[in-house]
Structure 1
Amino acid sequence: MEKQIYFPVPWKEAKRYADMLDSLHIPYRIESAGGKVPLVEGDLAIVFPNMSIHLYIKIRVLFFGDGLRYPQ
């Protein structure tokens, strides 16, 4: 999966987001601190590949805003 954007989320909310994304059949990965993504303690990154604008709009609604560019 070529990683393009991510959304930092609190660890305790990651399961809820994962369940919603699974139900919508949206591809993603979850990453913890210590990788390329700068996260504050207690957060995880939900990472997405390159996607259509239609799918990105769904994700924006789910996360209430724009994602952050994944560091290359």
Structure 2
Amino acid sequence: NIFSIFSSRLALKSEKKEDHELILRKSIHHIKSSSSKLRRLILANQILVSQNLHYWLTMQSITRGTSKPLRAL
């Protein structure tokens, strides 16, 4: 029957479309979670750089003999 063949093909196409939409949703979710992880890593890196710079500047002020260490950046 032509109608059953057509309807089964249509069902297959709609399944494929749903699969593509699911894959797209999963990909978008993965990208969002990856970008939030990346933002956290960048923030952690900025904090470490700031702490290292503060430590280095404090050591410089101590070795130069200035009395008070520099305040946190």
TM range (shorter): under 0.3
**Greater share of strand residues, 1 or 2?**
1
Greater RCO, CA 8 A, separation 6+: 1
Q: Whose helix fraction is larger, Structure 1's or Structure 2's?
A: 2
